[in-house]
Amino acid sequence: MFKKLECFDLPRDIIGELSRNWALLSAGNPESFNMMTVSWGSFGFIWGSPSLTVFVRPQRFTMSFMEKSQNFALSFFPPEFKESLALCGSKSGRDIDKLAQSKLNAWFTPSGTPAFKEAKLVIEAQKIYQQDIDLKSFIDESLPAKWYPGGDFHKAFTGRICGIWTKD
Ligand SMILES: Cc1cc2nc3c(=O)[nH]c(=O)nc-3n(C[C@H](O)[C@H](O)[C@H](O)COP(=O)(O)O)c2cc1C
């Protein structure tokens, strides 16, 4: 169903895709996993590999799956799934069965990382670095007041891109 691309073959407008159309961040294994909507992230090249960084606030249910899992995935969807993404970005997997309610179907990469059959693009990454966003490190001091009035600083997870799957 999916065809695998080279790890450098990200779509040109990947930042626009993420920020405007959003993605599902998923982690765990076939027995137990969770997903949440994200619109923040970084794509780049570091420590010898194409890389991906996602930012997760501590209160997210997805956080514990991100901490326990070696790999994580970002899934991008056609426009008709925006409602599913809105649900996964407003409800917690602690409270509802997001897979059932979003009408998405799980698909697992060969390493068992959860993603979704309905996705048009899946990017899998292997965690290599994690760090809490730090108040003292802001140069633009207006940002923490705007984004962290409650002090719930994101944790940044950087992964080495280890798989890109598409249907195009
Ligand atoms: C468009 C959009 C983008 C979001 N981006 C992020 C993000 O980058 N990081 C984050 O921690 N939460 C983000 N969220 C919020 C989580 O998706 C939301 O709190 C979700 O319900 C968490 O689910 P969970 O508790 O099952 O992990 C976003 C929500 C929306 C709607």
Q: Which fold has domain 3-166?
A: Pnp Oxidase; Chain A (2.30.110)
What is the structure's pLDDT at 7?
Answer: 82
Residue-range domain boundaries for the chain = 3-166
pLDDT of the residue at 6? 86
Centre of ligand 1 from the C-alpha of residue 63, in Å: 11
> Can you tell me the mean pLDDT for 131-159?
97
C-beta of 57 in contact with ligand 1 (< 6 A): yes
Measuring CA to CA, which residue among 56, 39, 121, 133 is closest to residue 92? 56
The pLDDT of residue 1 is: 87
Question: For residue range 114-124, what is the model confidence (pLDDT) as tens digits?
Answer: 999 999 999 99
The tens digit of pLDDT for each residue in 54-71 reads 999 999 999 999 999 999
Ligand 1 neighbour 61 (Cβ under 6 A): yes
Which is the closest atom of ligand 1 to the Cα of 63?
27
| pTM of the full structure | 0.97
Range 96-114 average pLDDT: 96
Q: How many CA atoms lie within 13 A of 166 on its CB side?
A: 8
* 22-41 average pLDDT score: 98
89-102 pLDDT, tens digit per residue, is 999 999 999 999 99
More confident of the two residues 104 and 168? 104
Beta carbons within 8 Å of 21's beta carbon, 6+ residues apart:
76, 77, 79, 82
